[in-house]
């Protein structure tokens, strides 16, 4: 398909290289290296797709995205950034960005994002046709099987619903048609409103233009689920008669994006840390040795003797941090062998129980005997799980509990390990920071526990996610591929 693309990046060379590659893929390419030029070209050529760097010299990328969406809501905007920032990813999705790719751009990521944009353009075109020709209804709403589709009247009553959404809601078509959309989707008796649940219909009806928003819901396990909701108004004789609403669960996309961003962030910090830690290790050793040598030469009654002891012990503490940092940066390649997952969990629970007992916290596990095995570096996975359990114990008051549960994931290919605590929880604004090296709110914490854990999980081709409720506790979920023989069902 020959679409016009506008590439916006302040790096002129990148614009050129990307432009050439896109031209080879059959796109008509225009480029701009700042926000002001981007808007001029955008108004001039009305591109179907915009590939846009967030860090521009003259305008905030989010503002540029909003302006483009305001002027031509149908534009598919793919955000490119070198800065790993989850907040930015969520905000850009909330402003209806199509996708989010991180620098350095790899072919797979870019092609995936462009394919998504092409799919969305196709869907919009079909919806346009639908709005003009009602006989296409059946074909259109059931063709969009990946999204949930509702056809809603101007009075908020549901006129039609697709099979995918009926299956998810577990209700019959008869039970839904004619009811208010907010009754069925949100179990409430007034239209959605507020920051977490803005109603896209209201906006679509008043602007007569498509509109997009994101809703955050909590599932049964109190996990945050992000829904991307798009509304397309339908017309008869120029009057808005209702809207077609598409909704899609984008939680997995956001989580995958999050672990990708985390990986690139950790990689760059790791490189820097390795260099600095190495340089610091030698002078620290000199300080330590010198302090101990002087101490040997003086009388223990001398007041300097105690002070030299403090120098030595503080230097040792610094060395401990540097060693942990080198561990984190070096990222030892795991030496993997097949190990039973239940055995691993039983061992780490046993190892951490003593520490928990000091605080009168219990550590329990729940894992099926036949859960199967994983190709793992046992020492590394042990370390990862122990870090998570110890964090759980740290955050939990006397009488609390840390649970380690393992089960086979929904697609039977992965094992899901959950480490849950009844502790104080993590504030929402801190959730994106806790995996950063050196982020710690503990007096003696290095802040490297979760950074190392996340590195280990990634090296085992797994992913780690966290959800938390302040005052109620936190839950870390790890997904790891099961050993092939097991996942094939023998
Ligand atoms: N289960 C949890 N409950 C509440 N807060 C947590 C939990 N796990 C991690 N955190 C928060 O994340 C921060 C970073 O954790 P991380 O394990 O990386 O470092 P740390 O525990 O502070 O230090 P170290 O692991 O070296 O002892 C913690 O200081 C804490 O604020
Ligand atoms: Mg820790």
Question: Taking the domain 4-128, which CATH number applies?
Answer: 3.40.50.2300
Output the pLDDT for position 137.
Answer: 61
The domain ranges of the chain are 4-128, 134-249, 256-330, 337-487
CATH class entry, domain 134-249: alpha beta
Which residue of 324, 391, 428 sits with most ligand 1 atoms within 8 Å of its CB, as the best mutation to test the pocket?
Answer: 391
Among 262, 361, 423, 447, name the best residue to mutate to test ligand 1's pocket (greatest count of ligand atoms within 8 A of Cβ): 447
Range 337-487 classified under CATH 3.90.850.10: no
CA distance 328 to 312: 24
Arithmetic mean of pLDDT, 362-377: 91
DSSP 379-423: HHHHHHHHHHHHHHHHH--TT-EEEEEEEE-TTSSEEEEEEEE-S
Q: What is the pTM of this model?
A: 0.53
Percent of the chain with pLDDT over 70: 87
User: What is the rounded distance in angstroms from the CA atom of residue 243 to the CA atom of residue 230?
Assistant: 10
Q: Which two tokens stand for residue 69?
A: 């969406």
Q: Mean pLDDT, to the nearest integer, of 131-146?
A: 59
Return the number of other C-beta atoms located less than 10 Å from residue 401's C-beta. 17
Which one is predicted more confidently, 51 or 143?
51
% of the chain beyond a pLDDT of 90? 31
What is the residue with the minimal CA distance to atom 23 of ligand 1? Answer: 445
For residue 391, the CA-to-ligand 2 centroid distance in Å is 5
| pLDDT, average across residues 427-435 | 89
Q: 134-249 with 337-487: one CATH topology?
A: no
pLDDT band at 490 (very low <50, low <70, confident <90, very high): very low
CA distance 409 to 419: 15
Residue 348 contacts residue 312 (beta carbons within 8 Å): no
pLDDT at 300: 92
DSSP alpha helix (H) spans, 2-56: 12-24, 35-45
Average pLDDT over residues 272-289: 81
Output the pLDDT for position 298: 92
- For the stretch 14-47, pLDDT in tens is 888 889 989 988 999 999 999 999 999 999 999 9
pLDDT in tens, 383-400: 899 999 999 999 999 999
Q: How far is residue 339's CA from residue 115's CA, in Å, rounded to a whole number?
A: 39
Average pLDDT, the chain: 84
- 446: Cβ below 6 Å to ligand 1? yes
Could you read off the pLDDT of 53-68 as tens digits, one per residue? 888 888 888 889 989 9
Q: Which residue has the higher pLDDT, 276 or 386?
A: 386
Cβ-contact 399, 438 below 8 angstroms: no
pLDDT at 121: 82
Strand segments, DSSP code E, in 204-347 are 211-218, 224-236, 239-249, 337-340
pLDDT at 84 over 60: no
CA distance 11 to 82: 12
What DSSP state is assigned to residue 73?
T
Q: Is 438 in the pocket of ligand 1 (CB under 6 A)?
A: no
Q: Indicate which ligand has the atom closest to the C-alpha of 419.
A: 1
């Amino acid at each position: 398909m020959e679409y016009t693309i506008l590439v916006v990046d302040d790096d002129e060379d990148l614009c050129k290289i990307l432009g050439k590659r896109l031209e080879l893929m059959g796109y008509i390419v225009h480029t701009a290296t700042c926000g002001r030029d981007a808007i001029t070209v955008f108004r001039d050529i009305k591109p179907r797709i915009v590939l846009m760097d967030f860090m521009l010299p003259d305008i905030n990328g989010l503002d540029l995205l909003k302006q483009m969406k305001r002027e031509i809501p149908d534009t598919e905007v793919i955000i490119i950034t070198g800065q790993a920032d989850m907040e930015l990813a969520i905000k850009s999705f909330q402003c209806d960005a199509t996708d989010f790719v991180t620098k350095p751009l790899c072919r797979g990521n870019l092609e995936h994002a462009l394919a998504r944009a092409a799919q969305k353009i196709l869907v919009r075109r079909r919806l346009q046709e639908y709005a003009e020709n009602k006989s296409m209804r059946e074909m259109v709403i059931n063709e969009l099987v990946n999204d949930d589709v509702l056809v809603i009247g101007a009075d908020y009553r549901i006129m039609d619903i697709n099979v995918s959404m009926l299956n998810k809601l577990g209700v019959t078509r008869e039970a839904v048609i004619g009811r208010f959309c907010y009754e069925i989707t949100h179990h409430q008796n007034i239209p959605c409103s507020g920051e977490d649940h803005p109603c896209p219909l209201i906006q679509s009806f008043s602007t007569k233009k498509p509109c997009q928003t994101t809703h955050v819901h909590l599932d049964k396990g109190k996990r945050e689920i992000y829904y991307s909701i798009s509304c397309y108004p339908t017309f008869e004789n120029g009057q808005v008669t209702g809207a077609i609403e598409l909704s899609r669960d984008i939680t997995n996309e956001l989580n995958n994006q999050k672990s990708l961003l985390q990986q690139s962030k950790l990689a760059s910090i790791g490189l820097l840390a390795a260099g600095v830690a190495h340089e610091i290790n030698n002078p620290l050793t000199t300080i330590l040795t010198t302090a101990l040598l002087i101490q040997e030469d003086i009388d223990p009654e001398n007041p300097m003797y105690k002070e030299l002891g403090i120098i030595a012990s503080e230097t040792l503490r610094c060395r401990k941090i540097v060693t942990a940092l080198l561990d984190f940066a070096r990222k030892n390649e795991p030496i993997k062998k097949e190990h039973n997952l239940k055995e691993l969990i039983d061992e780490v629970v046993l190892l951490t129980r003593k520490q928990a007992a000091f605080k009168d916290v219990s550590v329990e596990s729940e894992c099926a005997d036949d859960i199967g095995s994983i190709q793992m570096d046992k020492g590394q996975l042990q370390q990862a799980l122990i870090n998570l359990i110890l964090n759980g114990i740290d955050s939990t008051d006397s009488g609390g509990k840390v649970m380690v549960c393992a089960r086979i994931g929904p697609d039977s290919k992965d094992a899901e390990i959950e480490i849950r605590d009844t502790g104080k929880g993590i504030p929402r604004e801190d959730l994106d920071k806790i995996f950063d090296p050196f982020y710690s709110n503990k007096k003696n914490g290095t802040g490297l526990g979760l950074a190392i854990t996340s590195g280990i999980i990634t090296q085992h081709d797994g992913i780690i996610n966290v959800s938390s409720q302040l005052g109620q506790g936190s839950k870390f979920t790890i997904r790891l591929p099961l050993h092939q023989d097991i996942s094939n069902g023998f």
